[in-house]
Structure 1
Amino acid sequence: MADNRTEKREAGRFTVDRAIGAIVVGVLVFATFATLRPFFPAILWAVVLAVTAAPLHGRILDRMPAWPRLAAVLTTLFLALILVVPAIGLTRGVIAYTPEIIAWVESMSAQDAARAPESIGNIPWIGDFLSSNWEMIATEGRSYIAHFSADIESWLAWALQQVENVGLFMFEIALGVILAGVFLAKRARLSAFAQTFFGRVGGDFALRLVDRTVVTTRSTVRGVVGGAVAEAIVAAFAYFIAGVPAWLLLGALTFFAALIQIGTPLVWIPVAIWLLIQNELGWAIFIVAWGMIVVYGVENVSRPFLAGRAAELPGLLIFIGVLGGLVAWGLIGVFLGPVILAVAYELVQAWFDPSTGDDPDRRDGAADTST
C-alpha cells in the first residue's frame, strides 16, 4: 500500500512538473516570437539572400578554403554593393524629390491646358491631329480626373505613407544583408541541420521539396527580381541623360512596373509625354526609342539568361505576390512576395506530381544506410 501511495505521489509530481515545463516553454516561445516579430521580414529576406548567393559564396570559398569567414565577408560586401548602395540612393531620392513632385502636380493642375503645347504639333504624323483636338482631349482628361479624384487622393495618401517607410525599408535591406552574411558563414552547419530536420520530418520527399524550394528561390530572385533591376537600371540611365528630374524615383517606378508584370511603358511613355510638353521633342523620341529597343530588349534577354525557370512562373502569380507582399510586409515585401508565392506554387505542383512521391526502394535504402 505504501508503495502504491509513493508511486501515485511521484506520478502526480511528474504530471505537475510536465505541466509547469510546458507552461515555461510556451511562455518562452511566445516571448521569442514577440521579440523577433519586428525582424521577421528582414530575417526572411536574409534567408532568401543567403539561398540565392550560396553558389557565389561557394565559388569564393573554393578560391580561399582556409578563410571561410573572409569569403563570407566578401560575399556580404558584394550583396551590400548591389542592394544597400542603391537602396541608400533611392531613399535619398525619395526624400529629396517628393516635395518637388507634389508642388509640380499642384502647379500642373492649376494651369490652363486648353491650348496644346507647341511641341505637340511637331510630332510626326499625329501632331496636327492632337493639336486640333487638344481642347477636347484636355476636357475629357479633366472630367476623368474629377470623377476619380477621391480614388486618386487615397492612392496618393497611401503612396506618401509608403514614402514615410523608406527608412524602415533601408534598415531591413541592410539587416538582411548582414544576416545573410552570417548565414553564409555558418552555411555547412545550417545545411546539415536542415537536411537532418527535414529528413526526420518528411523523409526523402521532404528533402526533395527542400531542394525544389532552393532552386525556385534562386530562379525567382535572379530571373524576376534581377530582370526588373536590369530594366530599371537601363531606363533610369535614359531618364538621367535626358535631364528628367527625379530620375531615381522614375527608375524605382520602372522597377516596380517590371516586377509586377504590368509593363515599363507605363513609366517611360508618360516621361516622353512630359518631355513633349516641355518642348523637348528630340528627347521624347529618344525615350520612346530607348524604351522600345533597349528596355524591351533587356526584358527579353535578362530573364531567360539569369534564370530560365523563373520565366515559367505565371505573371498573375508574380503580380499578386508583389502587391500582397507590399501590403503584408511593407516595401521589403516587394521582393519577398513573389518569392514566397513562387515557392508555394512550385511546392503545390511537386506535391501533386506523382514523380516526386516517395520511392519505397529509396526509402528502404535510406533506412539501411542510417542503421
Structure 2
Amino acid sequence: MRVNGLTKGFFILIVFIVTLAFFDVLSPYYSAILWAAILAVIFNPVKNKIRTRLGERNGLAALMTIVIICLIVFTPLAIILSSLAYELNLVYSKLQHNDTQFPTVVASLFAHLPGWARSFLADHNLDSAQQIQQQLSDAALKGGQYLAGSAFLIGKGTFGFTVSFGIMLYLLFFLLKDGPYLVLLILESLPLSSYVKQHLFAKFAAVARATVKGTVAVALAQGALGGFAFWIAGLDGSILWGALMAFLSLIPAVGSAIMLGASGHLPLRHRPNCGRAPLSSASL
C-alpha cells in the first residue's frame, strides 16, 4: 500500500518522528498547558452561568471568566507575595542588627539537649548562638554571591515564567470558549466506545476538580490557621510562617509536620501557653 508515494511503514515512521518533535517543542510549556486545562475544567460551570446571563455570548463569557480567575486566584496571591517580601525584609533587618531573641532560644535549646548532642554540636562549631549566626551569615553571603552571579539565569527564568503565564491565559481563553467542541473532537478520535469515552472524561474532570480544590483548600486553611496562631503567640513574621505552612502542606505525607519544630522553641522559652497555639493549629 502506498500513501502519497511512500510506503505505509515509512509514513508511520515520519508521523512518529514529527509527533516526538512536536512534544519536544511543547516540553517547556507542559505545566502551562496542564494548568490551563485544569482551570478550564474547574471554572467551566462558572463560564456557562455567565454565558447564560449574557445571552449566549460565549467569547465575552470566557473573557469575563478569566478576569474572575485573576481576581480570585492571582490577585490574592500577589498580595500574599508582597506581604511575604515585607516579612522577609523585616526578618533580615532584625538579623542584621541582631535584634532577635535567637541567642536566648539557642541557649534554652542547648540546655535541654543531652550530652552527646552538645558534644556533637561543639565538634562542628555549632555550640553557641554567635557561631551559628556567623555560619548563617557566611551561608547568606555565599547565597547572595551566587544569586548575583546568576542574575542572567534569574532573568531568563522570570522571562520564561512570564511567557508560560501568557500562554496559559491564552490557552485558557480558548479552552473556556471552545472547550466542549474540542473535547468532542478528542473523544471522537479515541478508538473506544462512547460509554467508555464519556466515563473516562467524567472521571478526569471529577478527579481534577477534587484534587485541586481539596489540596488548595487544605493548604489555605492550614496556612491561615498557622499564621493566626503564630500571631496570637506573638511571633514575628506570622504572615511569613503562615505562607510557609501553606506551601509545605502541599508536600505529601510530611509537609504539614515540618513546621512543628518552629513552634517547639516557645515552651523552651518558658511560654508554654504560647507554644500550644501553633501546635494546636498544626494538629487541626
Report the TM-score when normalising by structure 1: 0.52
Structure 1 gap ranges (5+): 1-10, 118-132, 297-371
Q: What does 1:165-176 correspond to in 2, within 5 Å?
A: 167=158, 172=164, 175-176=167-168
> How far has the Cα of 1:181 moved from its partner?
3.1
> Is 1:53 matched up with 2:43?
yes
> Is 1:64 matched up with 2:54?
yes
> Is 1:287 matched up with 2:278?
yes
Deviations 1:254-281 (CA, angstroms, capped at 9, x unpaired): 34225524363532x3333345567766
Partner of 1:38: 28
Structure with the greater alpha carbon radius of gyration: 1
Identity of aligned residues (%): 17
> How far has the Cα of 1:183 moved from its partner?
0.8
SS of equivalent residue, structure 1 residue 83: helix
Partner of 1:252: 244
Residues 232, 251 of structure 1: 8 Å contact kept: yes
Partner of 1:136: 113
Distance 2:111 2:187 in 1: 66
Residues 68, 185 of structure 1: 8 Å contact kept: yes
Deviations 1:329-371 (CA, angstroms, capped at 9, x unpaired): xxxxxxxxxxxxxxxxxxxxxxxxxxxxxxxxxxxxxxxxxxx
Which one-letter code corresponds to 1:236 in the other structure? G
Partner of 1:193: 185
Deviations 1:98-130 (CA, angstroms, capped at 9, x unpaired): 9957x95xx89x95877428xxxxxxxxxxxxx
The equivalent position to 2:63 in structure 1, one of 59, 62, 73, is 73
Residues 49, 177 of structure 1: 8 Å contact kept: no
Aligned length: 255
Residues 116, 134 of structure 1: 8 Å contact kept: yes
Deviations 1:298-323 (CA, angstroms, capped at 9, x unpaired): xxxxxxxxxxxxxxxxxxxxxxxxxx
Deviations 1:209-262 (CA, angstroms, capped at 9, x unpaired): 222111111111122333223322332344456453273354233342255243
> How far has the Cα of 1:42 moved from its partner?
0.9
Change (3 A) 1:282 1:135: closer
Q: What does 1:276-355 correspond to in 2, within 5 Å?
A: 283-292=274-283, 296=284
Distance 1:141 1:99 in 2: 31
> Is 1:272 matched up with 2:263?
yes
Distance 1:229 1:51 in 2: 21
Distance 1:31 1:276 in 2: 59
> How far has the Cα of 1:289 moved from its partner?
4.3
Residues 223, 246 of structure 2: 8 Å contact kept: yes
Deviations 1:55-106 (CA, angstroms, capped at 9, x unpaired): 22222223223322222122212222333234435655369739957x95xx
Partner of 1:205: 196
Deviations 1:153-200 (CA, angstroms, capped at 9, x unpaired): 9xx99xx99xx79846676566435532331111232232233223x4
